[in-house]
Structure 1
Amino acid sequence: MTAAAPEEERGAAGSEGGRSAPPSGRPESGGRRTDPGSGLTRAYLFAQRAARALVRGAHTNWRRSLHLRVISTTLVLSLLVMAGLGYVLISQVRSGLLDAKIGTAVNDHRAGLNYALAELQENETGDRDRLMYNIANELADRSGDTGLYGVVILPSVDDELGWVGEKLEEAPDKKLEDSVPERLIDQIRDSMGDQQYHTYARIQSDTDGTEDPALVVGAELTHAYELYYVFPLQHEQEILDLVQRTVALVGTLLVILLGLIAYVVTRQVVTPIRSAAQSAERLAAGDLSERMTVQGEDDLARLAVSFNDMAGTLQEKIQELEELSKLQRQFVSDVSHELRTPLTTIKMAGDLLFDDRDELEPAMRRSVELLQSQVERFEELLADLLEISRHDAGAATLGIEPSDIRDAVMKAVGDAEQIAEKRGIKVIMRLPADPCVAEYDPRRINRILRNLVVNAIEHSEGRDVVVTAAGDRDAVAVAVRDYGVGLKEGEEHLCFDRFWRADPARVRTTGGTGLGLSIAKEDATLHGGWLQAWGMPGQGSQFRLSLPRHAETELRGSPLPLVPPEFSLGRAYPREGEDTT
């Protein structure tokens, strides 16, 4: 493979027309080579995304589904309980089996030890090796046809062979001489007398190399020999494995059964709750005729009855409020229309008197001027009442046309110029160089901006007013900032209520009906825009109007911040000459 790369490079360099020839034995694929690792990378990324999506889906279902949480919790707790009970049960069974086996093994070993000692006393002379061999085989024969244990006699002197007695027809491949642990041998040799010791070990097989558990019991036979009994624990291990499988099977079935029980019980509770939630959602959406189905006489049935009673009461109250609101709107509209005729007559008479005020006495002249101003204010109030009634009735319409928001700002500032000059206030405009065209109703937007500018002048406490306009790809915005009395906490929402005033004791110098900001809020909402307020006591306030570029589109953000930028610098007022845009 190391020679293939140079051949490909030579083939690429020597091909005609600047086109590289494909390597020998490989199909041409449009002049591109496929990286073998790229497929693995894509598969890994796909698996990673799939795993993340699975985790997110499981987490979402866990948060949203009470049914799933109850069942999952029941399964987990049941599994933990069954695991704990199974562990205790298996531990008890294992302890009982081993204790019984140890008792039997010690008794058998004691009997074999006594027999071996008796044989040694009767045959003190003779071939010692032959005697030990016979004793080992005799003791092994006593284990019965099943070969319950094997017998090992080891000399106390190292590097000497011992004697093994076992049922060869039962375990011909077991290496009993290697199954006696060294720790047990050392423990017996360090002891005094014929005290018995036991420990656990492994019996290794010559055929397949497997190791079976075993119990080894040993004691000193004479000063020169030690007697060991090796008891296989295969039968006990089989019993323990059977108990473990039985516990695992019963535990699994019990956990599944508890899960099914939890599913059925939870479903009986969750289904009515879901039905109640759906009914509440439809009721909140305006379907006042929505009612729950009542089944039975239990707690859930009483919940359904209470819900239906509540829904019926709400429907009655809402209908009463709708009728009352309809009558109020109709009354306001009728009164506004009916007052227009006498107001027109009064205004005509007042205009005549106002035109000839110079010929009147000073006291009469002042009365005529007050009459003229109050008639004009009364006319504005009637116009605002009519506009509010249109919004309440849902009859307000928009005359949408593409317009530059900068023109609306300049017109609003121009309309309020005389008021600002009287109070010695300078209105500063910060307008972008590029057009900020949006689709809106110029009449309503001009009214909003004029109202915001006049209110800023009214509450600026003699300081300048800053009007800023900006636009981005999706929206345009205008912010009107003053440095006057400001707003207290919570008043940024109350200021849009009808006839609300921040300071009732404050004397109005520019008139006003108390409906301007309410109408402005309704006009902004009608455009799908926002009209928001910010303020701090003694730090001034800022009102921001945000409109979408295109009508019938959702407004997701504003090009201007609601909180003035100078507050992010830790100062209440901008420094002289500082640009706060």
Structure 2
Amino acid sequence: MLHLRPSGTRWLPEPVRRGLTFWRRSIQARVVASTLLLSAAVISIVGWYLVQQTRDGLLDHRVDAVVAEANDETADARDRLLAVPGTDADAATQKSDLVTPIIQRGETRGFSVVLAGPTGEGGRIADGGTNSTPGLATSSVPLSLEEHFDGSSSTAWTYTTIRSTDGDGVTTAQPGIVVGSQVVLPADAQTYTLYYLFPLDEQEETLALVTRALLTAAILLLVLVAGMTWLVTRQVVSPIRLARRTAERLAAGQLQERMKVAGEDDLARLATSFNQMASNLQRQIRQLEELSRVQRRFVSDVSHELRTPLTTVRMAGDMLHDARQDFDPATARAAELLQTELDRFEVLLADLLEISRFDAGAAVLELDDVNLVDVAHRIVDATRPLAQQRQVTVVVRAPGHPCLAEADVRRVERIVRNLVTNAIDHAATDGVDPGIVVQVDGDEHAAAIAVRDYGVGLAPGEASMVFNRFWRADPARARTSGGTGLGLSISLEDTHLHGGWLQAWGRPGEGAQFRLTLPRRAGQVLRHSPLPLVPADVTEPVS
């Protein structure tokens, strides 16, 4: 079985989704986060620069000190060699006498010594024959510094890693500086090199202390920046949130809600303007509500008041219509026209009363299980005389099983009747019977009826206007069914009362289709319709 990952962020863990929701909805959180990121970047750059400057300063000072100390040791060694008697020809003893005092002073002053040589014979420290501080690895002297003295006798220095072994056999390594100087041994007149290795542990500890101090200061500074940004943005965001909550209450119908005004700054002026806008909206809404109430009352009163005179006129009209055979042709025709217009006036009066009930919120449903297939057949049979008069054929296409919906059968029949008579009114009149198709279908969630005609169709934008009261696509077109212009409006109100959909599609010259969709159970939310809104016999243009 194929499993699809849920769309959006629903597959994420609940805490992550809540965090993303908070991030999207909180401008305060985004401002604080962006400020922290920018501050962290600036502090990192400044901190890195300060650490580099401190490191360079410490190293430069240490280099100057160790070079000076190495030069002093070398000068002292040369002085001692000059004082050696010329009869002393033991080079090994002179080397030992030369380096031993330096090693002893190094142990007290914190540096190590290596005496290598003689030079000029291809000898290297790695070849052996050196005198050095006990425990010091002679490999601590880099080869690059040894190579320097192959062609130069000037004092030189470089950075290195000092490796040594203590009395317990533990080997340590630490950064350091090695300074090399050359001396001439009188016993053999050969040149030897003294290497002084000074550790940088104090400078390393100082640099680590500075780094920790800067890091602590950076963290504290970021916390302070976050707090200050939060407080500053809160002063701006809080009135905005208050305005949002007030606007939500106004949208919910609590028109008396207002914002609190404090101070005279820009936010206070915004709150004042918002309150003025709310007051104006409240006044206008109340005026519209009063006007709507007066209008509904007027329509209801007029409709009721017209019933009595209409009944009297209806009785007189029936008498004239029944006696029209005794009249001359012109009077008989007038009696027939009077009867037709009285029928239309009664329908209009009934529609106005129904509209007034919808406006007053007094319309109720009498729910029952309704088979839309039976409804479609009943309506088609009832409108067959009108269809024959227009020379139009109306057919029903329905599945072999019932399409049930929990609905008010009277209102559903009125909706379908209005759709079918509207299709007959707008069918083609060029002498060719295009037919009208009433299609019914349903599934486990919804049931639908679609009425398809092949008449004049609807221009772009008219599909949303066709349900307006008294709206007509062509005012000059006659209503052969005696419609009042309120049928589709009442049908839409009936559909909304059921929680359904009533939609229209049309294209000039290709007819129109109206689709009624009802939920299978009252109160269910519609997700789709069993029938397409655009007919299957229509080819959509390729965009």
- Equivalence map 1:8-87=2 (5 Å): 52-87=13-48
1:115 Cα deviation (Å)? Answer: 4.4
- Equivalence map 1:154-553=2 (5 Å): 154-155=116-117, 156=119, 157-158=123-124, 160-166=127-133, 173=135, 175-189=136-150, 191-194=151-154, 196-206=156-166, 207-219=169-181, 221=183, 224-461=191-428, 462-553=433-524
Aligned-partner Cα distance in 1 for 2:193–2:473: 106
Aligned-partner Cα distance in 2 for 1:279–1:390: 33
Contact 1:377 1:513 in 2 (8 A): yes
* Greater mean alpha carbon deviation, residues 377-386 or residues 49-58: 49-58
1:129 to 79, 89, 92: 92
The amino acid that maps onto 1:475 is: A
Residues 10-67 of structure 1 show CA distances to partners (whole Å, capped at 9, x for unaligned) of xxxxxxxxxxxxxxxxxxxxxxxxxxxxxxxxxxxxxxx9973222221111112223
Residues 168-209 of structure 1 show CA distances to partners (whole Å, capped at 9, x for unaligned) of xxxx65x241211233333443x4342524233243445433
Q: Secondary structure in 2 aligned to 1:210?
A: strand
Change over 3 Å in CA distance of 1:138–1:361 after alignment to 2: farther
The amino acid that maps onto 2:177 is: L
The amino acid that maps onto 1:450 is: R
Contact 2:387 2:424 in 1 (8 A): yes
How many residue pairs match? The answer is: 515
TM-score by length of 1: 0.82
Aligned-partner Cα distance in 2 for 1:165–1:204: 11
- 2:79 is equivalent to residue 108 of structure 1: no
* Greater mean alpha carbon deviation, residues 505-514 or residues 225-234: 505-514
The amino acid that maps onto 1:557 is: H
Unmatched segments (≥5 aa) in structure 2: 1-9, 185-189
1:382 Cα deviation (Å)? Answer: 1.2
Contact 2:112 2:132 in 1 (8 A): yes
Residues 262-288 of structure 1 show CA distances to partners (whole Å, capped at 9, x for unaligned) of 222222332222222111111100111
Change over 3 Å in CA distance of 1:135–1:547 after alignment to 2: same
* Greater mean alpha carbon deviation, residues 192-201 or residues 433-442: 192-201
Change over 3 Å in CA distance of 1:488–1:181 after alignment to 2: farther
Change over 3 Å in CA distance of 1:494–1:204 after alignment to 2: farther
Change over 3 Å in CA distance of 1:162–1:463 after alignment to 2: farther
1:245 Cα deviation (Å)? Answer: 0.6
Aligned-partner Cα distance in 2 for 1:113–1:485: 114
Change over 3 Å in CA distance of 1:566–1:152 after alignment to 2: farther
Q: Secondary structure in 1 aligned to 2:440?
A: strand
Contact 1:203 1:214 in 2 (8 A): no
Contact 1:429 1:466 in 2 (8 A): yes
Contact 1:194 1:221 in 2 (8 A): no
Change over 3 Å in CA distance of 1:503–1:211 after alignment to 2: farther
TM-align CA RMSD? 2.7
* Greater mean alpha carbon deviation, residues 305-314 or residues 325-334: 305-314
Aligned-partner Cα distance in 2 for 1:481–1:495: 15
Change over 3 Å in CA distance of 1:523–1:100 after alignment to 2: same
Residues 133-153 of structure 1 show CA distances to partners (whole Å, capped at 9, x for unaligned) of 333333345558332x22222
Relative contact order (C-alpha < 8 Å, sep 6+): which is higher? 2
Contact 1:152 1:176 in 2 (8 A): no
2:108 to 145, 149, 152: 145
* Greater mean alpha carbon deviation, residues 90-99 or residues 459-468: 459-468
The amino acid that maps onto 1:472 is: D
Contact 1:139 1:165 in 2 (8 A): no
Residues 303-343 of structure 1 show CA distances to partners (whole Å, capped at 9, x for unaligned) of 22222222222221111111111111111111112222222
* Greater mean alpha carbon deviation, residues 485-494 or residues 362-371: 362-371
Aligned-partner Cα distance in 2 for 1:126–1:212: 39
Aligned-partner Cα distance in 2 for 1:204–1:457: 108
The amino acid that maps onto 1:194 is: S
Residues 407-427 of structure 1 show CA distances to partners (whole Å, capped at 9, x for unaligned) of 211122222222222223222
Contact 1:150 1:176 in 2 (8 A): no
Change over 3 Å in CA distance of 1:224–1:533 after alignment to 2: farther
Change over 3 Å in CA distance of 1:289–1:144 after alignment to 2: same
The amino acid that maps onto 1:381 is: L
Residues 320-368 of structure 1 show CA distances to partners (whole Å, capped at 9, x for unaligned) of 1111111111111111122222223333333333344455444444433
Contact 1:294 1:304 in 2 (8 A): yes
Change over 3 Å in CA distance of 1:571–1:373 after alignment to 2: farther
Contact 1:388 1:519 in 2 (8 A): yes
Contact 1:212 1:232 in 2 (8 A): yes
- 2:515 is equivalent to residue 554 of structure 1: no
Aligned-partner Cα distance in 1 for 2:58–2:11: 50
Contact 1:132 1:163 in 2 (8 A): no
1:475 Cα deviation (Å)? Answer: 2.0
Aligned-partner Cα distance in 2 for 1:488–1:218: 98
Q: Secondary structure in 1 aligned to 2:163?
A: strand
Q: Stretches of 4+ moved more than 6 A in 1?
A: none
Q: Secondary structure in 2 aligned to 1:145?
A: helix
Aligned-partner Cα distance in 1 for 2:338–2:131: 134
Unmatched segments (≥5 aa) in structure 1: 1-48, 167-171, 573-581
1:242 Cα deviation (Å)? Answer: 0.2
Q: Secondary structure in 1 aligned to 2:13?
A: helix
Identity percentage of aligned residues? 48
Aligned-partner Cα distance in 2 for 1:433–1:52: 47
Aligned-partner Cα distance in 2 for 1:116–1:538: 116
TM-score by length of 2: 0.87
Q: Secondary structure in 2 aligned to 1:555?
A: coil
The amino acid that maps onto 2:22 is: N
* Greater mean alpha carbon deviation, residues 295-304 or residues 406-415: 295-304
Aligned-partner Cα distance in 2 for 1:320–1:183: 96
Aligned-partner Cα distance in 1 for 2:171–2:381: 104
